[in-house]
Each structure stands twice: as structure tokens, then as C-alpha cells.
Amino acid sequence: MPESRDLVAKVVLQRSADFSVDIELACPPGITCVMGPSGSGKSTLLAILAGLQLPDRGRVAIGDEVWVDRGQGIEVPVHKRRLSYVFQGLALFPHMTALANVKYGMHHVPRPDREATAMSLLKRVGAAHLAHRRPRTFSGGEAQRVALARALARSPQLVLLDEPFSALDRDLRKQLTELVRELIAEAKVPLVHVTHSVAEARLLADRVIRIDGGRVVAQGTPDEVLAGITSLEE
Amino acid sequence: MRAEIPRFAITLAIVIGVLLWAGAGGGLVWDPIYLSLRVAFMAMLWSLVMGIGFAVLLTWKKLPGADFIDALINVPLVLPPTVLGYYLIVSLGPESAIGRGIQWLTGSDLAFTFNAAVVAAAIGSLPLVVRSIKVGLESIDPSFPAAARTLGAGPVRVFFTIMLPLATPGVIAGAMMGFARSLGDYGATMMFASARPHDNLPTGAIAVIDYIVADKEAAAQRMAITMTVVGVAMLYLANRLTKRMQRRA
């Protein structure tokens, strides 16, 4: 039996005439890296888990809370799911400061406490100095830190990362993956991280799921799944 | 937006300069211009409210019959203005069901009044306003509203906190186009609001005809140049804002 905080999903989506996603997965609290070549269905899977795309069939549940069950007619709208999604382009709102971006998802926090909570999160990710600046003035690494703070501000039950570190240099990527590890260990929620990078998955993941052609081809610990693999784009 | 402020300031200075020239020595009768500006401003507000609504509707991917609705909104662009005015009389005039409803609610007819001039100008400018706001909404990276939804924002909050602020250049450009178009409305205003829509005064566009008929060449020239400069200034600023949106997209 999965623990009460596990993400459990079994979804089928016919995305086009010649491509479908048919994936079953269970992610306990901790970091699960979903890996696969371009076009393998990784981002579609994240969109389904977030509720941005509806599967043709299947079920998505987090602990005892069912988000989608097509058989039962259950479809919890995106904004009512307590999740955080860090997009590949980060999607920091350009017309808001870093602080306002972080506060945006904090409706569960009483209004008078929001600013202090958002500031403490920015401090936690090393971005307090950016609080009153807008995203166009951020460097790549600064934007990632603010995006992580915004993701955690929602006290999510599930965190989804869609290759947010792909444009960063190696050192910065290492720093941020370590920060993600720390934050998720504290939050004790499942994090599904889509990545192309085998090195990043080895560094970050508790579990790895490899998908190809919209199907799971291997899953297990990083050592089990990634033994002898240096790149997925072969 | 900030980069546009000097251009806005220079354009405004030119418009004020032309207005001062036109008015020098009592060469320009201000009342029609003032009436036109009031009509255009009110029409701009109405067309903005309607324009935002229609633009949102048209950018909704699941809208049934979107192309047909789009065509209907754009009809004022292709109809002769007198025909548009005729439809307004038929649908909103004192003999129509809506016209009688307005009479019952407000105690007066809509047709042949200041408000009729506003309605005629607003409907005439609606296609330009909708088009501009639609471009503004479509230029927004879809990951922004998606991110807002994943952060717990429902559709209304996403619209007011993400979509509308990010579409602001499109909304402002639409407002300017709507204002410029309303300023020059003639045919529909004549049909639905008469040649003297308020206090027995003509709008600027109608006054030009009056001056020509009365053989007042110099007054017609000053009125025409004033309205041209205001209109060109509005369109120039709208173009600048539209370009900014296209660069962002």
C-alpha cells in the first residue's frame, strides 16, 4: 500500500494519431527524476499530473486525495490542486517583483503574514536581495532561486520541475540541485523532476523513471536504471 | 512602457502646439472639437469594456462559431457608415424593442442624443479595439497563466492579475485606436444621433461639412488639420505600443 503522501498515477492520453502516453507510476516523498529523449512524453506527463491537460483515461491521486478519475468523473481543477510547477522557462511574472511572485501562491497564509513568510523563503534560497526587483533584471541562477521559492511558498503536496536547470552552467546547476534536495527533504513531499541530464539525475534522484515513446521502459534507483548510461539522446 | 514616455511627451507637445495654432485669433470654434473629444472619450470607454469582453471570448479556444462571431464584430469595418447607422436606428431607435426598453428604463429615447453619438462611435470603433486587445492577449506567453493556475489562482484572478496587466500595451493601443476612430465618426453619427447631437452643436467631423457648405474655407481647414493631427498622434502611439507587443511575442 502506498503511503498517504505518495503520488499514484495511471494515465492514458492519445496526443496525436501516432503518439500516445500510457504511463503508470508511484512516487513516494523524495525526488523522482523522469528521463527520456526529446518527444518521449515527459512534459505531457507533467501537464497531466498538474491538471493542465486531461488524460483520456486514468486516475491521478496524491495520498487519499483523488485529483483525476475519468471513470468516476472526478476532475479537480488545476487551481484547487495543492501543487507547484516550475516551468522550463520558469514563468516568473514579469510585471511583479520577486516578493510579489512568491506571495502570489500564498493564499493559504493569513494576509498579514504573507510578506514575512515570502521574505523568509527568499532568504532560504539565497535570493532575499532580489525581493524588490523584477525578473528581467535577474541572472539565470537568480531567476531559478526565485522560482524555487515561489514553488515552495504554496506548501505543495506535489512539486513538478520541468527541466528548470537546463540552461545553467555546471557549478550553478550543482548548487541548485543540492538546494532542491534540502528543500524537498524538509517538505517531505514527492517531487517529479523532468531532466535530460544523466549527471543531474544521479546527483538528485531517489528514484528514476525512464520513459520512451510515451511508455515507462525502466524504473528504480539511479544505480539500477542509469548503470552504464551517459546520455539519453542516442 | 517606460521607454515610450519621451515619445508620448513629444507627441502630446505637438498636438498641443497644433491646437494652439488652430485656436490663435479665434480661428477655430472650439465647441465642435470639445463635443467630439467628449463623444470620443465616452465611446472609447464603452468600446474598451465591450472590446475586452469580446477579445477574451475570441481568444478562448473552445468558443463555438468563433470565426462567425469574429466576422460579426468586424462588420462595422466593411459596412458603409450610413448602413451601420441605419441598423442602429432599427435596433435601438424609439420603434425598436430595445429602444422602448431604454425609454422605459431611463424615461428618454436614446436616438438623436449625445449618448446616441457615443453608441454610434463606440460600435464603429469596436473592431479596431477588439483586434488590438486580442493581439495583446495572444502575445502573452501561455506559461504565465498556466503558472498562475498552478499557484492556486482561479480564472477570474488569472485574468485580472496576469492576463490584463500583461496585455496592457494592447489595451492602451486599442483605447487610442478607438478614440481616434470615434473622433472622426461621421456617417453613423449623422444617422443615429443627427447632425446636432448635443446642445444644437455638430461634432468636429460634421462641422467640417457645415463650414464647406457655408463657404468658410479657413475654418474648415483649421478644423480638418486639428482633427488630422489628433488622429495621427493617436495612431502613431498605438503603432508604437503594438510594435512593443510584437517584439515581446
* Residues A140, A167: Cα–Cα separation, whole Å: 8
Q: Could you say which residues from 162 to 221 on chain B have a Cβ atom under 8 Å away from some Cβ of chain A? A: 162, 165-166
Residue B118 vs residues B45, B72, B125, B177: alpha-carbon distances, Å: 10, 20, 11, 15
* Minimal CA separation from A84 to chain B, in Å: 6
- Rg (alpha carbons) of chain A, rounded to whole number: 17
What rounded mean pLDDT belongs to chain A?
Answer: 89
Q: How confident is the model over A207-228, as pLDDT tens digits?
A: 999 999 999 999 999 999 988 7
Which residues, numbered 150 to 179 in chain A, qualify as contacts with chain B under a Cβ-Cβ cut-off of 8 Å?
A: 150, 154, 160
The amino acid that residue A93 corresponds to is F
Instruction: Name the residue among A195, A189, A103 with its Cα closest to residue A146.
Output: A103
Q: Which of B148, B150, B162 minimises the CB distance to A84?
A: B150
Cα Rg of chain B, angstroms: 20
CB A75 within 8 A of CB A149: no
Alpha helix positions (H), chain B: 5-23, 30-59, 66-78, 81-92, 97-106, 114-138, 143-150, 155-158, 164-166, 168-183, 187-193, 204-213, 217-248
Q: Where are the domains of chain A?
A: 1-79+156-168+188-225, 83-154
Which ipTM was obtained for this model? Answer: 0.89
Asked if residue B54 lies in contact with residue B131, where contact means CB atoms within 8 angstroms, the answer is no
User: Each residue of B89-101: b (16+ CB within 10 Å) or e?
Assistant: beebbeebeebee
Q: How far is CA B239 from its chain centroid?
A: 15
Burial B111-126 (b: 16+ CB within 10 A, else e): bbbbbbbbbbbbbbbb
Domain residue ranges of chain B, discontinuous segments joined by +: 2-248
Q: Does B249 touch chain A (CB under 8 A)?
A: no
The residue-averaged pLDDT of A19-41 equals 91
Q: Which fold has domain B2-248?
A: MetI-like fold (1.10.3720)
Low-confidence ranges of chain B (pLDDT < 70): 1-2, 26-27, 245-249
Cβ atoms of A225 and A208 within 8 Å: the answer is: yes
- Contact check, Cβ <8 Å, B150/A85: yes
Which positions in chain A touch B147 (Cβ < 8 Å)? 85, 87, 91, 93
Report the alpha-carbon angle B162-B46-B12, nearest 5: 80
Supply the pLDDT for residue A228: 76
DSSP state of B161: I
Q: Identify any residues that bridge with A74 across adjacent strands, giving them in sequence order.
A: A69
Give A186: exposed, middle or buried? Use CB within 10 Å, 0-12, 13-18, 19+. Answer: exposed
Residue A218, beta-bridge partner list: A210
Interhelix angle B66-78/B30-59, nearest 10 degrees: 160
**What pLDDT does residue B248 have?**
60
DSSP helix/strand/coil, B53: helix
In chain A, residues with a C-beta closer than 8 Å to the C-beta of B163 are none
Q: Does A215 touch chain B (CB under 8 A)?
A: no
> Does the pLDDT at position A66 exceed 80?
yes
Evaluate whether A53 touches A13 at the Cβ level (below 8 Å).
yes
Q: In Å, how far is A112's CA from the nearest CA of chain B? A: 19
More confident position, B145 or A19: B145
Please report the pLDDT score of residue A2 as a whole number.
Answer: 46
Facing B143 at nearest CB: one of A89, A150, A160? A89
Nearest-by-Cβ selection for A79 from B141, B143, B152: B152
Chain A residues within an 8 Å CB radius of B143: 87, 89, 91
**Dist CA B15 CA B27 (whole Å):** 16
Verify whether the Cβ–Cβ distance B152 to A105 is below 8 Å: yes
- The pLDDT value given to residue A193: 93
- Kindly give the interhelix angle for B217-248 and B168-183, rounded to the nearest 10 degrees: 160
Q: Do A78 and B150 make contact, defined as CB atoms within 8 angstroms?
A: yes
Nearest to A87 among B143, B152, B162 (CB): B143
Position A233 scores a pLDDT of 57
pLDDT tens readout for residues A162-216: 987 776 777 777 778 888 888 888 888 999 999 888 888 888 899 999 999 999 9
Q: How far apart are CA B121 and CA B102, in angstroms?
A: 19
Query: Closest approach of chain A CAs to the CA of B155, in angstroms?
Result: 9
- CA distance, residue B154 to nearest chain A CA (Å): 6
Q: How far is A156 from chain B (nearest CA, A)?
A: 9
CATH class as words, domain A1-79+156-168+188-225: alpha beta
Residue linked to cell 522557462: A89
Quote the minimal CA–CA distance from B182 to chain A in Å.
Answer: 31
**Residue B233 to residues A193, B208, B214: CA-CA distances in angstroms?**
51, 20, 29
CA distances from B89 to A120, B84, B103, B198 (A): 63, 9, 14, 17
Residues of chain A with Cβ-Cβ distance to B153 below 8 Å are 79, 104
Give the other-Cβ count within 10 Å of A225's Cβ.
20
Residue A94 contacts B, CB cutoff 8 Å: yes
User: What does the pLDDT read at residue A60?
Assistant: 96
Q: Which helix (H) or strand (E) holds A206?
A: none
Q: Which element (helix H / strand E) includes A225?
A: helix A222-226
Query: Nearest CA to B90 among B101, B81, B82, B99?
Result: B99
User: What pLDDT does residue B130 have?
Assistant: 96
Residue A149 identity (one-letter amino acid): A
CA torsion angle for B201, B205, B207, B213 (degrees, to 10)? -140
CA–chain centroid gap for A117, Å, is 21
